[in-house]
Structure formats: structure tokens, C-alpha cells
Amino acid sequence: MPRTRVYEAVTERLEILDTEGRVDDALMPEIDTSRIRDLYRDMVLMRTFDEKALKLQRQGRMGTWPPIKGQEAVQAGVALAMGENDWLIPAFREHGIMVLRGVPLHLVYAYWAGDERGSSFPEDVRCFPVAVPVGSQWQHGAGVGLSLKLRGEDAVAVTFGGDGSTSEGDFHEAVNCAGVFGAKTVFVIQNNQWAISIPLHKQTAAETLAQKAHAYGLPGIQVDGNDVFAVFTAAVEAIERARRGDGPSLIEAVTYRLGDHTTADDASRYRGEEEVEKWEARDPIIRLRRYLDHQGLWDDDQETILREEAQSWVDAQIKVLEEMPPQEPEEMFTSMYAAMPPHVAEQMGELIQETRS
């Protein structure tokens, strides 16, 4: 019997905007200039509320915060590609896209300040709560995408996770299941090179994370995750494909966590300053600002106004957060189920009795 080639795959990498802010015209997606300015605004807003959260934590006004600094382009690019009714199923480093999808910032802050109300969003916001158990959200993403297909809805599910989460069985089960059942799901890996102190090369022996899609029969693409135009282009392709009913896809966005893992971590203990500096030079916000400058779409006055507006918006959200009345202990039960199971209702009753007596 002969040996024959039964399968061959190529994994592409997409880059459109370079570090100097120049684009490849042939690949540049069509986006109105006002939208491009909005992308920049969105990324600056993210950077502002992220940096503020770190300060709140140092002042004892925030619990633990996982910074998104450096990963803004992934989140802004995917958000722009999503349709109004699409679902977002985040892990725990997606505050940027959560806010862009309509989750009020004060609720994002509330979650990380240890308040249960930070997991309960307004009805019209199609976003799942934060999922801290690493990898669990991939399964939810596959499930929501399958449900949208079975219900015949036009919407798609977009789910996020980190490079580290691709080592969890949950990731493989979710992607496999989505492939088999043709779920309307887009899987976005924020490959920020680190899973706390574990570097990518200890996470996988594969060249890319995108290629893992091939094993499950899905298209997979790698994009420069600090290039908002590449992220947007890949996300549009994947979302449109899912919406058409042609099945799920996987996007690996190669980026970098410029900050610590969380406020409980000190990354200088396991990674060198040189590596961080190399990635600071690829900062997605600076890169987009350079593009806007080349195009004559932005100036320093606009920048000053934007920074001031961002700061006042964040301060106003902190005020809303800190003026929320104290939560009742039983609120840990109330947003969990549409119809509360009897044993949970019983536990809630006991807690109310205990805390009121």
C-alpha cells in the first residue's frame, strides 16, 4: 500500500499596519475615517480606565485587577467587527471589549472590587460575565454559538481566551465540538506570550496557536494583535463566515501583556526588561496614532481633549461605583439562574436568616 498525503494545511499571518504607522494599501480594509478615529478613541479610553484601575487598587479601592495594557487593538478591532446582536463570551482580560459592547464601566470595576452586581448586566447587553476558571469560557462560547444556530438567529458568538487557556482540555473540546456541530462561534486567542509566569514556549511545542484549528476542521489565522486593522479584517471574515452558517473559525492575535498578570503579580521576577521594551515599541496605540498623523486625521489639540474627556468619563464611572448602596449578601445568588433551583433558594433563605438575626 502506498503512503499518500491525506492532509496538508497552511496557516497564514496577517499584518497591515506597521510600527511606523504605515499600511499595506492592498490589504487595508475599508473603514470610514471617522471610524478610524473612533478606534483610536476606544483604545485610549481603555488605556485610561485600565491605568486608573491600577491606581484604585493601590489605594485599596479595588480588589485585584488584570491589566489590559498592550492588548487594546485586539479588543477594539474585534468590537468594531461585531454586529449589534452578537454575543460576547469573555474570559477575564477583556474589559476593553466588554465596555465597547455596552457593559457599563462601573460594573466592570464593581466585579473586580468584589461586588456580585458586577456580573449582572443590563438585559440588552449581550455579554456573559467574567469567567476566571481558565478555559471554561471556550465551552460557553461553543454552546452559545450552537444555540444561535439551532434557534436560527442571525447573531454569532465571539469568545476570547488567553494563550495559556489553549492548554486546557476545555479549549480542545470546545473547538472540536463547535467544528462538528457547525456552531456560529468565533474563537479569539489573545496570545500575550505569558500565562502568569509560564512563557508561550512552555505552553505548546507548536509554531502557532492558530494552526490548532486545522486539527478540528476549522480555518485558523494568526494576526498581528497590535495592528488594529489586521485584527478587524480577520474578525470580519470569521464573523461573516459564522453568520452565513459556514461554521466556526479561530483567530490567534499575537500581542503582549505590557503589565503584570494582575495587581497580585510582579512580572519583573520572571521576564526581562529588554523583552518588555521591545514590545513597548510595538504599542498598538502609538502605532495607530502614527497612522492618524500620516493621514492628517489627528493633532495634539484633539489628543488633549480626548485625554481630558477620557479621564472625566472614568472619574464619573468611579463615582457611580462608589455611590452604589452596599450589596446584600444574598445578591451572590440572585443573578445566577433564570429560575432559581430549590436547593439554592433554601441556601439563600438560610443566609438571609443568618445575616438578619
Ligand X SMILES: Cc1ncc(C[n+]2csc(CCOP(=O)(O)OP(=O)(O)O)c2C)c(N)n1
Nearer to Mg ion among residue 119 and residue 204 (C-beta): 204
Nearer to ligand X among residue 224 and residue 237 (C-beta): 224
Candidates 121, 130, 200; CA nearest to 167 is 200
261 is catalytic: yes
Q: Shortest approach of ligand X to residue 162 CB, angstroms?
A: 2
Nearer to ligand X among residue 49 and residue 298 (C-beta): 49
Does an H or E element contain 69, and which?
Answer: none
- Tell me how far apart the terminal alpha carbons of the chain are, to the nearest angstrom: 80
Collapsing DSSP to helix, strand or coil, 162 comes out as strand
Q: Which residues contact 77 (CB under 8 A, 6 or more apart)?
A: 39, 228, 229, 230, 231, 232, 235
The item of ligand X, Mg ion, none sharing an interface with residue 165, based on CB under 5 to 8 Å by kind, is ligand X
The item of ligand X, Mg ion, none sharing an interface with residue 93, based on CB under 5 to 8 Å by kind, is ligand X
Candidates 253, 248, 43; CA nearest to 158 is 248
The item of Mg ion, ligand X, none sharing an interface with residue 196, based on CB under 5 to 8 Å by kind, is ligand X
Nearer to ligand X among residue 262 and residue 327 (C-beta): 262
Based on C-alpha coordinates, what's the Rg of the chain?
21
Given the residues 22, 151, 270, 294, select the one marked as catalytic: 270
Single-letter amino acid code for the residue at 115? D
In angstroms, the CA 26 to CA 18 distance is 14
The item of Mg ion, ligand X, none sharing an interface with residue 133, based on CB under 5 to 8 Å by kind, is ligand X
The item of ligand X, Mg ion, none sharing an interface with residue 132, based on CB under 5 to 8 Å by kind, is ligand X
In angstroms, the CA 270 to CA 268 distance is 6
In angstroms, the CA 239 to CA 231 distance is 12
257 is catalytic: yes
The item of Mg ion, ligand X, none sharing an interface with residue 261, based on CB under 5 to 8 Å by kind, is ligand X
Residues that bind ligand X (CB under 6 A): 93, 132-134, 161-165, 192, 194-196, 257, 261
Tell me the three cell numbers of residue 197: 509566569
Tell me the three cell numbers of residue 106: 462601573
Collapsing DSSP to helix, strand or coil, 18 comes out as coil
Residues that bind Mg ion (CB under 5 A): 162-164, 192, 195
Side-chain half-sphere of 260: how many Cα atoms within 13 Å?
12
214 is catalytic: no
Q: Shortest approach of ligand X to residue 265 CB, angstroms?
A: 9
Q: Shortest approach of ligand X to residue 95 CB, angstroms?
A: 11
Residue nearest to Mg ion (CB): 162
Given the residues 101, 126, 241, 261, select the one marked as catalytic: 261
Nearer to Mg ion among residue 93 and residue 140 (C-beta): 93
Q: Shortest approach of ligand X to residue 165 CB, angstroms?
A: 4
Q: Following DSSP, what letter does each residue of 238-262 receive, concatenated?
A: HHHHHHHTS--EEEEEE----S-SS
Does an H or E element contain 280, and which?
Answer: helix 273-280
Given the residues 95, 126, 140, 257, select the one marked as catalytic: 257
Q: Shortest approach of ligand X to residue 196 CB, angstroms?
A: 5
Nearer to Mg ion among residue 86 and residue 163 (C-beta): 163
Q: Shortest approach of Mg ion to residue 37 CB, angstroms?
A: 30
Place of cell 494582575: 262
As annotated, the active-site residues are 257, 261, 270
